[in-house]
Chain A
Amino acid sequence: MQQAATEKENYFSAYKLFVRTREGKDPAWLNELRSRAGSRFEALDFPTTRNEEWKYTNVAPILKVPFRQVFDLEPGAVKMAAIEPYTYAESRTSRMVFINGLYAPELSDLSGLPKEIVVTSLAEIPQESNDVARRHLGAYASYEEETFTALNTAVIGDGAFVHIPDGSMVEQSIHLLFVSTAKEPIASHPRVLIVAGKGSIASVIESYVSPGEDIYFNNAVTEVFADENAVLNHYRLQEESERAFHVATTRIHQKRDSNYTSYSISLGGEIVRHNLNAVLDDEHVETTIDGLYVVTGKQHVDNHTTIDHREPFCNSHQVYKGILDGRSRAIFNGKIFVREGAVKTDAHQLNKNLLLSGGATANTKPQLEIFADDVKCSHGATIGQLEDDELFYLASRGINPEMARALLTFGFAEDVISKIKLKSVRERLDRAVLDKLHQSLEIE
C-alpha cells in the first residue's frame, strides 16, 4: 500500500541509520537477526482495521506522527530524583533504568544481585552469556508477519537481558524501568529477554512510566523463556503518559513443570495495544495470566492474548478485569488453543468489564479452540455497571453513594491487585487506581 509505505519510510531510514551506528560492535548473529527482521519490516505493511486482529485498534494516528528515533543517550538528561517515585523497595539494588529505550547505567543499580545472575544491556552481552542470548533472542516473538515486532527486532540495541542460570534463586525482584521523557515526540523500541534456567526462581518487574504528559511511542517486545521447573513471576506495569502510544508484544515459552505468573496492568496511554502469547510447550506446565486495565477520558486499550496448550497435563488460569470511564474504549480478545493430544488440559479464562460511564465501550471476545479430548476448559466475559443491590447494601450501612461507588470500583480492581505478591507493587497500584479514578478512599 502506498500510504503505509511513506509512513514506514521514517522508521525504515532510522533502522538503516541505526545499523550503521552498530557496525563492528555486535556479534555476527545479532547483526544477522536484525538484518532478517529489517527485511521483513521492509516487506510488511503496518496493520489497518481491515485486518481482523486489528479491527478495533487503528494505528494510523500513531503512524501519522513524525516521531524521531534516537540511539544515543544524552548523559544526565534525567535526574535520579525524577525516577525515584517509580522505583520499588523490593528492587533497590536490582534495577535497570532505560531512558527513551536507552540503557542509563548511572540511574541503574545492580549491586545487590548475586554474581551468577546476568542482568545486562543487550548491547553489551558478556561473552559467557552469548550462547544463551543467541539461542533465545528473536526465537519466540515472531517477526515474520508482525510489522511492529519486525521493526523492534531490526533495531535491537540497548535492551534488557536477564538470565537466571539453572538452579539459581533471586531474592530481590529485578526491575526493568523504562522511562519516557522528551521535549519532542520520540519513538523507542524497548526490548526485553528473560531466560529463566532450569529450577530457577525469580521475579521481574517490567514497568513503563513517564514523569510528564509527553507524546511519544513505545514499540516494545518482551520474550520470556521458562526452562524446566523454573518459577517466574512477571509484573508488567504500563503507566505511560495519557498522550503516549504503546504497542507491545509479550511472548512466553514454557518448558516442563515450569510455573509462570504474569500480571499485566495497563493504566496509561492514549492508544495501547498489548499482544500476550504464551506457549505451553511441555507437560505439567502451570500458567497464570492476569490483567487489569483502567481507562478514562478518550483512552483506548486493546489486549490480545493467546494461551497455546500444546502438550498434556497443563493448567492455565486467566482473569482480565477492566474499569472504563469517560469515553474510553477497551478491547479484550483472548484465545485459548488446546492442540491435538493436549489431554487433561485445564484452562480457565475470564474477562470482566466495569463501565462507569455511558460513553465508555468495551468489546470482549473470549475464544476457545479445542482439538483434544478429555480436557477441562471454561471461559466467560461480562460487561456491566455497578449493581443497584451492591450500592444499596453499602448505603444501608451509612456509606454515601459517592463513596459506595468508589469502594465497589476499587474492590473490582483489588480482586486482581490483591493477588500480587510484592507489597510495594500492590500499594503503588492501589494508589494509582484510586488517583486515576479521582477517588479519595482511605484504604489501609
Chain B
Amino acid sequence: MLEIRNLHAVIDGSEILKGLNLTVNAGEIHAIMGPNGSGKSTLAKVLAGHPTYKVTEGEVIYEGRNLLELAPDERAREGVFLAFQYPIEIPGVSNANFLRMAYNEKAKHDGREELDPLEFDDLLKEKMKIVEMDSSFINRSVNEGFSGGEKKRNEILQMAVLEPKLAVLDETDSGLDIDALRVVANGVSTLANKDNAVILVTHYQRLLNYIEPNFVHVLYKGQIVKSGGKELAMELESKGYDWIKPAGAKA
C-alpha cells in the first residue's frame, strides 16, 4: 500500500528526514517511535502534504501512485488521513457541517452517493458511539473550546467518518488521560481491518498496551534505524533510546 524510499525532507532549510525507508501493507499496524526531534511528526506531515515541508529526495508510492505529486486534499480523497497532534480550531463551523462536507467530497470522488443532513446525521450517530462522544459535540464549532482529549477523540471521529485506507496518527496519545487513551485506542482498533493500514507515530509505549502493532520502528535522526515486533517497544520503554544509536551513525 505504501512504499517510502530514501525520503529526505527539509523545513526552513534544515534537513529533518535523511533517507527514510518504510513499507506498509494493507492490514498492518506500524508503530513509529523515536526521541523528540527524530523526525516522527515531519514524516506524518510529509505524508499528508503539509506545504511547509519540502521533499528534496526520494519517493513515496501509495497504491501504485506517486503520492508526492498529489495536493493535500487529493491525498485525503484518495484515502490518506492524518490525525493531527494539535488539531486546529475552526470557529463558526459546526462539527456536523464540517464532517458532512468532508464526507461528501470523498463520496463524490469515490462515485458514491452524497448524504443530505438527515442521512448524514444517522451515520454520524453510529460513528460517535465508537469514540463515546456526546451528541452535543455535533453542533459545536470544530474543536473550539474542546479539551485536549476531546480534540483527539474528534480526530478519531473524523477518521471513523472518512474511513481512510491509510491512517497516520501523529502522537494522538500524547497528553491523554487513561480514559481518553482507552477510547482513542478502541476507536483505532475498531477501525483497523484487513484492507486498511495504520501508522501510529508515538513517543510512548503506553498506547501499544491498547493497540497491538505488527511492526515497531525506531526513528532516529531522520532514519529508521531499527525495526522489530512489539517486544522492541517494550525494550525502548525500559532502556530508553540511548542504546539504539546505530554503530555507524554520528552522534
Task: Give A residues with C-beta under 8 Å from B.
Answer: 388-390, 392-401, 403-404, 407-408, 410-415, 417-418, 442-444
**Cβ contact within 8 Å between B109 and A398:** yes
Cβ contact of A411, chosen from B76, B82, B91, B102, cutoff 8 A: B91
Cα distance, A411 to B89, chains bound together (Å): 11
Within 8 A of A (CB), among B63-104: 71-73, 75-77, 81-82, 84, 87-88, 90-93, 96-98, 101-102
A394 nearest CB across to chain B (Å): 8
Nearest chain B residue, comparing its CB with the CB of A401: B73
Cβ contact of A398, chosen from B76, B88, B93, B117, cutoff 8 A: B76
A276 nearest CB across to chain B (Å): 23
Nearest chain A residue, comparing its CB with the CB of B102: A397
Nearest chain B residue, comparing its CB with the CB of A397: B102
**Cβ contact within 8 Å between A398 and B77:** yes
Cα distance, A176 to B52, chains bound together (Å): 51
Cα distance, A444 to B124, chains bound together (Å): 15
Instruction: Known A388-B52, A396-B48, A397-B162; judge A407-B88 contact (CB<8 A).
Output: no
Q: Which of A393, A399, A418, A442 has the most CB of B within 10 A?
A: A393
Please name all residues of chain A whose beta carbon is closer than 8 Å to the beta carbon of B91 when the two chains form the complex: 411-412, 414-415
4 more A-B residue pairs beyond the given contacts A396-B49, A403-B105, with a C-beta to C-beta distance below 8 A: A392-B72, A393-B88, A396-B75, A398-B73
Contact with A along B205-233 (1 / 0, CB 8 A): 00000000000000000000000000000
Cβ contact of B92, chosen from A399, A403, A411, cutoff 8 A: A411
**Cβ contact within 8 Å between B101 and A407:** yes
Please name all residues of chain B whose beta carbon is closer than 8 Å to the beta carbon of A417 when the two chains form the complex: 92
Please name all residues of chain A whose beta carbon is closer than 8 Å to the beta carbon of B98 when the two chains form the complex: 397, 407
Nearest chain A residue, comparing its CB with the CB of B108: A398
Nearest chain B residue, comparing its CB with the CB of A414: B92
Please name all residues of chain A whose beta carbon is closer than 8 Å to the beta carbon of B38 when the two chains form the complex: none
Cα distance, A351 to B82, chains bound together (Å): 33
Cα distance, A400 to B140, chains bound together (Å): 23
Please name all residues of chain A whose beta carbon is closer than 8 Å to the beta carbon of B105 when the two chains form the complex: 397-400, 403
Cα distance, A413 to B101, chains bound together (Å): 18
**Cβ contact within 8 Å between A390 and B109:** no
Please name all residues of chain B whose beta carbon is closer than 8 Å to the beta carbon of A444 when the two chains form the complex: 96-97, 117
Cα distance, A393 to B98, chains bound together (Å): 11
Please name all residues of chain B whose beta carbon is closer than 8 Å to the beta carbon of A396 when the two chains form the complex: 48-49, 72-73, 75-76, 81-82, 84
**Cβ contact within 8 Å between A395 and B49:** yes
Within 8 A of A (CB), among B15-51: 48-51
B4 nearest CB across to chain A (Å): 18
**Cβ contact within 8 Å between A418 and B76:** no
Please name all residues of chain A whose beta carbon is closer than 8 Å to the beta carbon of B52 when the two chains form the complex: 388
Please name all residues of chain B whose beta carbon is closer than 8 Å to the beta carbon of A389 when the two chains form the complex: 88
Task: Show 6 residue pairs from A and B whose CB-CB distance is below 8 angstroms, ordered by the A residue.
Answer: A392-B51, A393-B88, A393-B90, A396-B82, A397-B105, A408-B90
Cα distance, A393 to B102, chains bound together (Å): 11
Nearest chain B residue, comparing its CB with the CB of A418: B92
Instruction: Known A388-B51, A390-B88, A411-B141; judge A395-B93 contact (CB<8 A).
Output: no
Cβ contact of B73, chosen from A388, A399, A413, A418, cutoff 8 A: A399
Cβ contact of B102, chosen from A388, A398, A415, cutoff 8 A: A398
Please name all residues of chain A whose beta carbon is closer than 8 Å to the beta carbon of B72 when the two chains form the complex: 392, 395-396
**Cβ contact within 8 Å between B51 and A415:** no
B145 nearest CB across to chain A (Å): 12
Please name all residues of chain A whose beta carbon is closer than 8 Å to the beta carbon of B141 when the two chains form the complex: 411
Cα distance, A390 to B87, chains bound together (Å): 9
Please name all residues of chain A whose beta carbon is closer than 8 Å to the beta carbon of B92 when the two chains form the complex: 410-415, 417-418
Is there a chain A Cβ closer than 8 Å to B203's Cβ? Answer: no
Please name all residues of chain B whose beta carbon is closer than 8 Å to the beta carbon of A411 when the two chains form the complex: 90-93, 141
Please name all residues of chain A whose beta carbon is closer than 8 Å to the beta carbon of B90 when the two chains form the complex: 390, 393-394, 407-408, 411
Cα distance, A388 to B49, chains bound together (Å): 12
Please name all residues of chain A whose beta carbon is closer than 8 Å to the beta carbon of B162 when the two chains form the complex: 397-398
Please name all residues of chain A whose beta carbon is closer than 8 Å to the beta carbon of B82 when the two chains form the complex: 396
Within 8 A of A (CB), among B89-139: 90-93, 96-98, 101-102, 105-106, 109, 117
B43 nearest CB across to chain A (Å): 15
Please name all residues of chain B whose beta carbon is closer than 8 Å to the beta carbon of A390 when the two chains form the complex: 88, 90
A184 nearest CB across to chain B (Å): 41
Cα distance, A397 to B155, chains bound together (Å): 10
**Cβ contact within 8 Å between A399 and B102:** yes
Cα distance, A443 to B52, chains bound together (Å): 31
Q: Which of A397, A413, A414, A442 has the most CB of B within 10 A?
A: A397
Is there a chain A Cβ closer than 8 Å to B202's Cβ? Answer: no
**Cβ contact within 8 Å between A393 and B101:** no
Cβ contact of B87, chosen from A393, A395, A408, A412, cutoff 8 A: A393
Is there a chain A Cβ closer than 8 Å to B158's Cβ? Answer: yes
Nearest chain B residue, comparing its CB with the CB of A398: B76
